Structure 1
């Protein structure tokens, strides 16, 4: 199997995983809103959708157009990191339970989650996003996509984390973690 075909299968698998996330997210968002949840940071959400879609599409286009030949050590190490980032993401989803979704929705009075990966890192899901944003494209040698996504995602995450921390502090009466 060529690198291009194998990489395409990986990106399709990640894309299907994103669809599964959206199903969970939509169900959880409805749960939160039905309990008085308040959404914050709507303005950056469309950019986030475009950026994350662009990661998948950009990596595929770069691999098929440039046809890079990355060293196998890079391919395999980045694949391990990519899979680890998926594991961390689903650990976050499981830990947050019905409070997890892709938007910033906080249910007033809901307890602050401090278990799972949140016991060590305030925003572990974003760690998973950062690692995946580098690792996934590099599995195929798509270093341009990895670089562009990383730079744009840094700005997005700065905005998103500010919005999330402010919403949590405002609606739960607690300081941001």
Structure 2
């Protein structure tokens, strides 16, 4: 079962690295179009949060000899649904998607895909992952700690993102 855990971690890490490559490409494009970064001061904390999540997950699973959940099929199904939602979210934003807050002045807010119904679907997905991934391997301490830390981080992140969008785009609070 240890091999399954490490294969899963490898899959998610490769996915995250791929997303960082996409984000860097999108960042370069947006900056070349006159975009700018907002909320840069809190971005290192987001990076640290996500790296710490994986470290905590690995430590909890390995040190406490956690195994895959008896409800693994439920958690794996939910994980796969979040990944489909992640792809849908990223594709809906296209070149506007980023891990940073990069704003392109005068741009129209994307209102397609999940953005038709929810302002920040990617944050919902990440929040779900901070619960689902640890539950898949019975790492309940990691789930609790990082769900709470993520909630605190999102209060800062969403406020900064919405303020930047209101200042430079057609974004309206409560759209």
TM-score by length of 1: 0.94
Give the structure 2 partner of residue 175 of structure 1.
172
SS in 1 for 2:154: helix
Matches within 5 A, 1:57-96: 57-69=55-67, 71-73=69-71, 75-96=72-93
Q: CA shift at 1:68, angstroms?
A: 2.4
Q: Which runs of 5 or more residues in structure 2 are unaligned?
A: none
Contact 2:69 2:137 in 1 (8 A): no
Q: Which runs of 5 or more residues in structure 1 are unaligned?
A: none
Distance 1:121 1:64, change over 3 A: same
- Structure 2 residue aligned with 1:162, among 156, 159, 163? 159
Runs of 4+ in 1 over 2 A off after TM superposition: 68-71
RMSD over aligned CA atoms reads: 1.2
- C-alpha separation in 2, matches of 1:56 and 1:12: 11
Contact 1:7 1:139 in 2 (8 A): no
Higher helix content, 1 or 2: 1
- C-alpha separation in 2, matches of 1:112 and 1:174: 6
Give the structure 1 partner of residue 29 of structure 2.
31
Contact 2:34 2:105 in 1 (8 A): yes
